Structure 1
Amino acid sequence: MSPLLRPLTLRMRIIVSFVLLMVAVMGFVVAAEQLDYDELRAYVISRSLHDEMAHLRAALADGRTPTLSPGSELFDRQNVPEDLHAYTPGYYSIGAPDVWHLLVFDLDDQRYYLRQGAERYQYLEHVIDAYAALVILLCILCAFWIGRLTAARVIAPITLLADAVQRKQTPFPYQEARDEIGVLARAFARHSEEAEQFLHRERCFVGDASHELRTPLAIISGAAETIVHQLPHDSHLRASGERIVRTTQEMQRQLSCLLLLSRDPQRLPRQEVQLRPLIEECMARCQPWLAGKPVALLLEAEQAHSVHTNAELARSVLWNLIRNACQYTDRGEIRILVRGTTVCIADTGPGLPPSIDPQQFQRFAPSLRESGEGLGLSIVQRVVEHLGWHMAVESSAQGCRFTLELTPARTPTRQG
């Protein structure tokens, strides 16, 4: 392809735009410089003197005493000052443009001299200055308009590409372009495809791992339940067996939660979920963590209030938060308050460790691997984002308060 036929690169577009802008500005400047302000001033004063001369000639021809305008003087051959005798008919600016002006004319073989002071023409200076300011303002406005127009043309491809990326529009525009915009569009498309492939692999892995783990967990759970039923009630192994049963059941629920998190939020099955029975179920499951501790678990909830959501994910959020509160509160109370679609879980425990940011829980934080609470809070955060809910956290040495707003404030975004 000939270099003249190749599309301009973004760099060349900017250069050409600035060159055109400077050409336009310099055109205004050159046009303004073509005006001779002295000639303009002389023309205006000369026209004013000629207009007044016409009135004077008419008055003199009729034999009337002429009426002069303020600042004007009229002489004839008898009373003309000596320094004006030498002037022939015509217009003259005496001394300097701002001293005085003279118009000499003849009427009936009589020569007259009309002289005006420069004071009456001082307004011309202001007019000329205003004209110069107007020219400068027009140059600035034109430069602004041209700059805005060219900038819009240069940035338009970037704006369209950014909008397509934000809306996840595929395929991205300008992928066939040969300039920098095309390179950027192809890079975005490549990275978007890689991200989609990674997301697909992650979802496949989570689904496959969850399905593969379900079978051995079901076997372990069934065997543990059988052992618990066969053990005598006074056996010291009975508590361990019950713990195995509870742990496998929790793992099965977590696997179900992970499977749901791997789905598109728009395709999640949703139904009306009664909040109070769901919370009471979680409170009953938390009793082993409260055994032997002076902790009161209290619930204040409306009996019939429900929320339209996924039951399993809602149960996972409430269960993880209530379980953490029961597990880490050694004395005092845990209060669960439900008002409409808002659920507040407050405890009198030690609060979150300093290593945890209440606004952004990080999975598998180094300081949380031993305690295990980092994974639970991370799952809570992921589920909250997956459902489009909002969660606020307040933590201090006197305890934690988790406030959940269960009404989606926006359309849920796709999560990995």
Structure 2
Amino acid sequence: MARPTFRSIYQRLSLRTRITVSFVLLMAGAMGFIALVELVDYDQVRASAISNEQEQQVSKLQATLRRGQMPALPQGSYLYREDDVPLVLRQYGRGYHGGAAPNEWHLRVFDAQGKRYYLLQEGDYFAYLDMWINMFAALVILTCVLCAFWIGRLTSAHVIAPITRLSEAVENTAKPFPYQQARDEIGVLARAFARHSDELERFLHREQCFAGDASHELRTPLAIIAGAAETLLHQLPAGSHLLPSADRILRTTQEMERQLACLLLLSRSPASLALGPVPLRDMIEEGMARCQPWLSGKPVMLGLDAPDEVIVVSHAELVRSVVWNLLRNACQYTDQGEVRVTLREGEMAIADTGPGLPSSIDPVQFGRFLPSARQDGEGLGLSIVQRVVEHLGWQMTVQTSHQGCRFLLRMNATPPHG
């Protein structure tokens, strides 16, 4: 049986225990370093550096004195012979002697050519040593900070590695999710994600089945109604008062068929949509022609501001649903003024001079719009528009007031994958 390693034992620990162990090890390392620093006395280090520096200077002075020359000393350094040394310095024997701040001084007594010499140096002479020692201390502190940063990054990487891997798997829907067999908090989270993902898939499957079944089941009666209405239109006399009713039944039935087809497309994944070039100007002009019954008898001008043609790569039926629902609402609820469609490359705007959106519709957080008495049926149409826009990966913003509405669509090239 293989001997367990520290890594294998570490991976068996819970996430809470791993974080605790990491902090304990980091604190132990910090305390060890602090204890090591406490063993080193700053004054001892400085005195040792000064003593070594003076030993090197004494060696050079002895060599110069053996040649019978009196050396030149820098400012702050004084060399006395035994016959001219100040009385206060005669009491010191060979070796190093010094005085602390504020009147810091350093004395080195040595012999050369059978005579005793006294090298006296002021504290300012060794100021550069303080600078080097401080720089060394700063370097040590910086090194410790960098080491702590590196250790922290390394430790955190090991601690959050399972979370990162699990989040990537959830984001990319890579199944089965990792760590489902783990007994720590990551395992609990992975199993919860797996259960939730399975529930969502089952719910989506049920929704898709319902949308497909409902669409197929409703198509037959709608086709019968549409056929009967079309027969009535052809068989009724030209002046019959039933002609407007039969025409309205036919148009409403056709609209319901289009809405069912749109809902069936919305039940599919965006990645499965068949994309192609969609001529927007032709589609808008078609929708404007279909909207004429809602403008009959009203002082409303319907205008289009667009280039000769604008092509967008998308799904034709879904784009047609967006254009038709927005145009129909604008024409249906505008009693006077203007409904204008503005088309540019990558953008389409539909503006009207109607009463604006009702209070039951939130123009920012689009959801399932609630119909009111005046806007009967508008909620469902705008709700479908919002779902289609999200399905295609477009963006829609709305400006609404009592003077009218303006829907702005920013059309991306391809729908999101999902």
Report the secondary structure of 2:271's partner residue.
Answer: helix
CA drift of 1:329 comes to 0.6
The answer on whether the counterparts of 1:32 and 1:135 sit within 8 Å (CA) in structure 2 is no
The answer on whether the counterparts of 1:98 and 1:119 sit within 8 Å (CA) in structure 2 is no
Is it true that 1:363 corresponds to 2:405 in the alignment? no
Q: For 1:128-175, what per-residue CA distance to the aligned partner results, in whole angstroms no more than 9, with x for missing partners?
A: 333333322222222112112111221122122112222222222222
Q: Which residue of 2 aligns with 1:372?
A: 377
Is it true that 1:220 corresponds to 2:229 in the alignment? no
Is it true that 1:412 corresponds to 2:410 in the alignment? no
Residues 8-407 of structure 1 mapped to structure 2, 5 A cutoff: 8-94=13-99, 99-107=104-112, 109-365=114-370, 367=372, 371-407=376-412
The answer on whether the counterparts of 1:335 and 1:346 sit within 8 Å (CA) in structure 2 is yes
2: CA distance, partners of 1:301 / 1:401: 16
1: CA distance, partners of 2:233 / 2:171: 55
2: CA distance, partners of 1:263 / 1:96: 85
Report the secondary structure of 1:296's partner residue.
Answer: strand
CA drift of 1:192 comes to 0.9
The answer on whether the counterparts of 1:368 and 1:374 sit within 8 Å (CA) in structure 2 is no
CA drift of 1:402 comes to 2.2
2: CA distance, partners of 1:103 / 1:307: 92
CA drift of 1:370 comes to 5.9
TM-score by length of 2: 0.88
Report the secondary structure of 2:12's partner residue.
Answer: coil
1: CA distance, partners of 2:103 / 2:130: 10
CA drift of 1:83 comes to 3.6
Report the secondary structure of 1:122's partner residue.
Answer: helix
1: CA distance, partners of 2:85 / 2:284: 115
Flag the 1:334–1:70 CA change in 2: closer, same or farther, 3 A: closer
CA drift of 1:117 comes to 2.5
Q: For 1:311-359, what per-residue CA distance to the aligned partner results, in whole angstroms no more than 9, with x for missing partners?
A: 3222211111111111101011222233445433222111222332223
Q: For 1:69-114, what per-residue CA distance to the aligned partner results, in whole angstroms no more than 9, with x for missing partners?
A: 4333334443344344443322222466953222223345533333
Flag the 1:217–1:140 CA change in 2: closer, same or farther, 3 A: same
1: CA distance, partners of 2:302 / 2:79: 112
The answer on whether the counterparts of 1:24 and 1:143 sit within 8 Å (CA) in structure 2 is no
The answer on whether the counterparts of 2:371 and 2:380 sit within 8 Å (CA) in structure 1 is no
CA drift of 1:203 comes to 0.6
Structure 1 range deviating more: 289-298 or 84-93: 84-93
Flag the 1:369–1:158 CA change in 2: closer, same or farther, 3 A: farther
CA drift of 1:206 comes to 0.7
The answer on whether the counterparts of 2:349 and 2:409 sit within 8 Å (CA) in structure 1 is yes
Structure 1 range deviating more: 18-27 or 222-231: 222-231
2: CA distance, partners of 1:341 / 1:55: 85
Flag the 1:33–1:215 CA change in 2: closer, same or farther, 3 A: same
The answer on whether the counterparts of 2:22 and 2:155 sit within 8 Å (CA) in structure 1 is yes
1: CA distance, partners of 2:125 / 2:146: 34
The answer on whether the counterparts of 2:270 and 2:415 sit within 8 Å (CA) in structure 1 is no
1: CA distance, partners of 2:374 / 2:13: 56
Runs of 4+ in 1 over 6 A off after TM superposition: 2-6
2: CA distance, partners of 1:208 / 1:403: 34
Flag the 1:369–1:142 CA change in 2: closer, same or farther, 3 A: farther
Flag the 1:361–1:107 CA change in 2: closer, same or farther, 3 A: closer
What runs of 5+ residues in structure 1 fail to find an aligned partner? Answer: none
Structure 1 range deviating more: 14-23 or 28-37: 28-37
Is it true that 1:7 corresponds to 2:12 in the alignment? yes
Report the secondary structure of 1:412's partner residue.
Answer: coil
2: CA distance, partners of 1:93 / 1:64: 27
2: CA distance, partners of 1:59 / 1:96: 31
CA drift of 1:367 comes to 4.4
